[in-house]
Amino acid sequence: MACDFSSLTNLDPTDPDQANALLQQCTAALTDPKLWLWAIVFTIACAAVGALIGKYKKAIVRDAILGAAFGPIGWIISLCMPVAKLKRACSGCKRVVDSGDKHCRYCGASLATGATIGAGKS
């Protein structure tokens, strides 16, 4: 007896031994180490592809988590999300501005130098 829907539909409701045998077969299928190994490998591979997408998007951790959690659907979500912008602090007013800006939008100071803070929310 295999663990599938056809076995369940052909199950005799008056025979408890047949139901017990089907339950044991399904439990053995779910606790098979090969199944869990493939599930772990698939999750890691999906996370790696998500991280590659995130490398381009400057959001490696976000996209790796999406890939691990949702698989190929997470990749599509990652591709649809915006590219994260790097931020840095203004040398004049110390407020956070985009790293591509030439002048601070708050005080007007030149932003020729400045340390990058990290990826921010866009």
3-state secondary structure string across the chain? CCCCHHHHHCCCCCCHHHHHHHHHHHHHHHCCHHHHHHHHHHHHHHHHHHHHHHHHHCCHHHHHHHHHHHCHHHHHHHHHCCCCCEEEECCCCCCEEECCCCECCCCCCECCCCCEEEECCC
Helix (H, G, I), strand (E, B) or coil at 119: strand
- pTM of the full predicted structure? 0.59
Domain residues of the chain, as ranges?
Answer: 5-80, 85-122
Q: How close are the terminal C-alpha atoms of the chain, in Å? A: 54
User: What are the backbone dihedrals phi and psi of residue 108, each rounded to the nearest 5 degrees, phi first?
Assistant: 85, 5
φ/ψ of 68, rounded to 5, equals -70, -40
pLDDT in tens, the chain (122 residues): 688 888 888 888 888 998 899 899 999 988 999 999 999 999 999 999 999 999 988 889 999 999 999 999 999 999 998 887 778 888 888 888 887 788 888 898 888 754 545 444 44
